[in-house]
Structure 1
Amino acid sequence: MTEALPLRSVGTFIELLIGAMLSPAGFVTEAYLVVTMRNHWTSYYKWLQEGRWSWLALSRQFVRLIMKVVKQDVIHLVIDDTLTLRASKKAPGSQIHHQHGNKPNLARYVRGQCWVSLAWVIKRRKQFVSLPVLTRLVPGMGNTGKLIAAQTLIRAIYRLLDGRKVRVLVDSWYMRRVFIESMLARGFDVIGQVRIDTWLCDEPPKRQKGQRGRPRKYGRKYTPKRIAHLKRTVV
């Protein structure tokens, strides 16, 4: 892990890593209080905020470490998103989100930051453990949404997987054509539950020469009557 960091940053990183592992929540302040640090608290804050080192290089080194230690025939990756509640409008990516967790003590719409995370799932002593790899903040402005953020996380590490068989587990939000086709193009399998309001259709007919108007985006819709003759047996 330390090979991805500048030499002078190794000690700071190790202290914060051990402190985050021992603290209950993993916040920087808690990590600082758990371990007897060598420097003042502001030194660690500035290292995280202004230090010249790469989160991406550190995460890729972590992936190499997992592949070296854990031997798996199939690699299982999980993508999910979460909300971090914020009161300030000036926080990066702070905007109003639908609180889809349906927590009874929160409003239906809340202000917060949306984070999309990528994790590596391994089996250890008859238990499944999730190892966090990368997390990306969805910006409050622009066309970058959760689907684009998820593809960015996969694109950051997929070259390190050495052509192994990979399965990506996602929830219904990511079960869209743009994401599924992106994963299939890399040879990854996608596991997820399609939303109940999602519908399937044929490819749109090819545009005829000289045809006017906007090209069609969808073809003929699949209905229960159209697929009634199709049968599939799952063993």
Structure 2
Amino acid sequence: MLIGAMLSPAGFVTEAYLVVTMRNHWTSYYKWLQEGRWSWLALSRQFVRLIMKVVKQDVIHLVIDDTLTLRASKKAPGSQIHHQHGNKPNLARYVRGQCWVSLAWVIKRRKQFVSLPVLTRLVPGMGNTGKLIAAQTLIRAIYRLLDGRKVRV
């Protein structure tokens, strides 16, 4: 229920429903989230448009990060053996997992920096697609919206 986390700070669709004036019964929205056909890319682009309206910055700061999600199954999409760079004593040097690449917008709020997640992509387990190509794909998905602005990645 990741979309619920995007809709309300507590991560519940019901709370988001209570905050915004809705026309339909809450079960309609739940069914739409659960079974409906909608685009994560369109939702992310709309989120970027919202950030640009609310946050006024001379320079847009985008951050790219990769995250390893541990998996036990070989059947999980993109699951493969990765070198565990964290040097955690309770993990083996090489672990099975999925590599995710994320793009976030960094803003300064009061005296601290806040990262707003925009898009995340699973790095495929097969082929020549690596983290850098995945990162380029994420940037390419939103770069037209940032036209005419200074951007630092």
Q: Render the CA deviation track for 1:133-181: whole Å, top value 9, x for unaligned.
A: 000000111111101100000000011012211xxxxxxxxxxxxxxxx
CA-to-aligned-CA distance 1:87-140 (integer Å, 9 cap, x gap):
111111111111112222111111111000000000001110000000000011
Residues in 2 aligned to 1:145 and 1:48: alpha-carbon distance in whole angstroms: 30
Q: C-alpha distance in 2, partners of 1:35/1:119?
A: 25
Give the 3 Å change call, closer, same or farther, for CA 143–86 of structure 1 in structure 2: same
Instruction: Report if aligned partners of 1:121, 1:130 keep a CA contact under 8 Å in 2.
Output: yes
String of CA shifts for 1:177-204, please: whole Å, max 9, x gaps: xxxxxxxxxxxxxxxxxxxxxxxxxxxx
TM-score by length of 1: 0.53
Aligned ranges 1:79-118 → 2 under 5 Å = 79-118=64-103
Once residues 107 and 29 of structure 1 are traced to their aligned partners in structure 2, the CA distance between those partners, rounded to angstroms, is 41
C-alpha contact 1:113 1:138 (8 A) present in aligned 2: yes
Aligned equivalents of 2:70, 2:25: Cα separation in 1 = 28
Indicate how the Cα distance of structure 1 residues 91 and 17 shifts in structure 2: closer, same or farther if over 3 A, else same.
closer
Pick the structure with more strand per residue. 2
Pair 58,34 (structure 1): closer, same or farther in 2 beyond 3 Å: closer
Secondary structure of the residue aligned to 1:71 is coil
Report which structure shows greater RCO (CA 8 Å, sep ≥6).
2
Q: Report the equivalent of 1:43.
A: 28
Aligned-residue identity in percent = 99
Contact 2:7 2:13 (C-alpha < 8 Å) held by counterparts: no
Shift in Å at residue 20 of structure 1?
Answer: 2.5
1:119, 1:130 within 8 Å by CA — same for their partners in 2? yes
On the 8 A contact 1:120/1:131 being kept in 2, the answer is: yes
Q: Name the TM-score, length of structure 2 as normaliser.
A: 0.79
Residue 148 (1) aligns with residue 133 (2): yes
8 Å contact from structure 2 (residues 79, 98) kept in 1: yes
CA contact (8 A) 1:74 1:164 kept: yes
Q: CA deviation at 1:51?
A: 3.1
Name the CA shift for 1:24/1:94 in 2 (closer, same or farther; >3 Å): farther
Which secondary structure does the structure 1 equivalent of 2:4 belong to? helix
For the residue of structure 1 that corresponds to 2:100, the secondary structure is strand
Task: Decide whether aligned partners of structure 1 residues 51 and 95 sit closer, same or farther in structure 2, where only a CA change above 3 A counts.
Answer: farther
Distance of aligned partners of 1:34 and 1:88 in 2 relative to their CA distance in 1, 3 Å threshold: farther
What does residue range 129-208 of structure 1 map to in structure 2 within 5 Å? 129-165=114-150
Quote the residue 2:40 is aligned against: 55
Secondary structure of residue in 2 paired with 1:56: helix
Q: For the residues of structure 1 that align with 2:14 and 2:84, how far apart are their CA atoms?
A: 28
- Maintained 8 Å contact 1:23/1:30: yes
Q: 1:20–1:30: 8 Å Cα contact kept in structure 2?
A: no
Instruction: Give 5+ residue unaligned stretches, structure 1.
Output: 1-15, 166-234
Moved segments of 4+, more than 6 Å:
21-25, 27-46
Q: Distance in 1 between matches of 2:101 and 2:22?
A: 31
**Closer, same or farther: CA 31–140 of 1 in aligned 2, 3 Å:** farther
CA root-mean-square deviation? 4.6
Total equivalences in the alignment: 151
Structure 1: distance between partners of 2:41 and 2:83: 29
Q: Flag the structure with larger Rg.
A: 1
